[in-house]
Amino acid sequence: MKVTPPGVSNVESIMEEVESPDITVNFSDKDTNVNMGEGMHTIETTKTTTTTKFETSPVTTIIETTFFPVPQPTSPPPTSLHEAAKERYELFVKQVSESKSSLKLQVNEIRTLMAKELKNLDDNYNLLHKKVHVVANVTTHLIEDITAFNNNYLKDIKVMNEKDDKVFKKVEDFLSNFKETLLKVDLSSQSSISQDSISTMVSKSSQVSRLSWLRS
């Protein structure tokens, strides 16, 4: 009896027969390497010996039995040390590249934020500088105006003081002249002073004061 599973071809076998008048021994050697379509498998071979005694004629019996093991699921081939090191190196390079990309992204974000803050500081500085410049100009003009006003006021006060001094001087001169005129009048010979005589004395005093003012 010969059993051949589906999908198996090119099974080679070598059969030998040994006959004798009393005993017939049949055995077969099967090739252990059979093309199963999924790699090389080992075929177990069973050798059967049958002994039969007959008195009349020899009988030849051939028993052929072939067992095929159930194919087991194939496992991945073992990985060599070089391939494992290469895989780890590729994983390390990938992680380094990802870390580098993440670091670049963070650096760009920080750089953008710092540039924005610096721009805000620069704008605030320029605005403050303009305001300080305006305040400084206004303060300068105010100080100049106050100084000019003080100078003009002092000049005006000086001029006014000079004018007042001249007026007071005229009044003093007039009073002095009037006093001298009164002293020159002989009041003992007159019982009273008429209005005309007073006008005459004032007129003379005024003329004297005017002459003294023109000389000065």
Residue 58 domain flag: yes
> How does DSSP assign 28-54, residue by residue?
EEEPSEEE-SSSEEEPEE---------
Residue 28 domain flag: yes
Residue 53 domain flag: yes
Q: Is the pLDDT of residue 110 over 90?
A: yes
Tell me the β-bridge partners of 26: 17
Distance CA 2, CA 32 (A): 16
User: What pLDDT does residue 116 have?
Assistant: 92
Q: Is the pLDDT of residue 215 over 90?
A: no
pLDDT single digits (tens) 159-182:
888 888 888 888 888 778 777 777
Residue 37 domain flag: yes
Domain limits for position 33: 13-67
User: What pLDDT does residue 117 have?
Assistant: 92
Return the structure tokens found at 119: 């721009």
Instruction: State how many domains the chain has.
Output: 1
Q: What are the two backbone dihedrals, phi and then psi, of residue 188, each rounded to the nearest 5 degrees?
A: -70, -30
Run of H or E residues at 19: strand 13-19
Residue 22 domain flag: yes
pLDDT single digits (tens) 119-136:
999 898 888 888 888 888
Distance CA 68, CA 45 (A): 9
- Start-to-end CA span in the chain (Å): 171
Sequence-ordered alpha helix ranges (H) in the chain: 81-184, 195-215
Residue 56 domain flag: yes
Choose among 74, 54, 63: nearest CA to 25: 63
Choose among 49, 55, 56: nearest CA to 24: 49
User: What pLDDT does residue 107 have?
Assistant: 92
Residue 120 domain flag: no
Residue 52 domain flag: yes
pLDDT single digits (tens) 14-72:
455 545 555 554 545 555 454 444 444 444 444 445 444 444 455 555 555 555 555 55
